[in-house]
A and B are shown apart, each in its own frame.
Chain A
């Protein structure tokens, strides 16, 4: 059974600082997603990583995938308050977007 573990689960950081969220998964997959969720809202797709070594960047967020290590990272650069949210990684074990397995999420709070 595929397991997806994120850490940390809670992250409080100051504006302007950098940090990395980690997502480990237990079986082979070459399709990984990162989502953002604001309180009481739905999931917003941030990144889709489709191959080993994939790196994608959008604004202050950068995601990467190492399929050999079964590890994805979400790096936050110079955090701002608007980035406060919960971030989920999700792995598609069947490579066809049928049944995603989600991590528990990282609740990020960016303090002024």
Chain B
């Protein structure tokens, strides 16, 4: 079992570009969660998805951020028109449902 796979590990974008972060959950896991970690901070919940459905997006900024988890393929967190304040580590976690998470290694986004 390969664990939760995130890519890329590091991503550099210029202000105004788009960032796409990918997360492949563990085999058999149908629940995916995205968290953001700012430097020297704890993780902040962004969104919770199941296959083809957004269950809870209460932590997502209202603009520029979107997430999906299609029937086939990885979950994608998309940030449009990135700004310097978007620089952070973005972690994905997966679970089979209500029994605890496994976190991926994260994507470290730097906006220059």
- Residues of A near any B CB (own CB < 8 A): 4, 33, 40-43, 45, 48, 88, 90, 96-105
B108 to A, closest residue via Cβ: A40
B55 within 8 A of A: yes
Contact of B42 among A45, A48, A88, A99 (CB under 8 A): A88
CA distance A102 to B42 in the complex (A): 6
CA distance A103 to B95 in the complex (A): 21
Contacts A41-B105, A43-B43, A104-B41 given; does A98 touch B100 at CB 8 Å? no
B99 within 8 A of A: yes
- Residues of B near any A CB (own CB < 8 A): 33, 35, 40-45, 48, 55-56, 58-59, 91, 95, 98-106, 108
Question: Is the beta-carbon distance between B106 and A97 smaller than 8 angstroms?
Answer: no
Residues of A within 8 A of B44 (CB): 102
CA distance A41 to B107 in the complex (A): 10
Question: Is the beta-carbon distance between B101 and A42 smaller than 8 angstroms?
Answer: no
B47 to A, closest residue via Cβ: A99
Question: Is the beta-carbon distance between A97 and B95 smaller than 8 angstroms?
Answer: yes
Q: How far is the CB of B46 from chain A (nearest CB, A)?
A: 10
Residues of A within 8 A of B42 (CB): 4, 88, 90, 102-105
Q: How far is the CB of B56 from chain A (nearest CB, A)?
A: 6
Contacts A98-B55, A101-B45 given; does A42 touch B104 at CB 8 Å? yes
Contacts A98-B56, A99-B48, A99-B56 given; does A45 touch B100 at CB 8 Å? yes
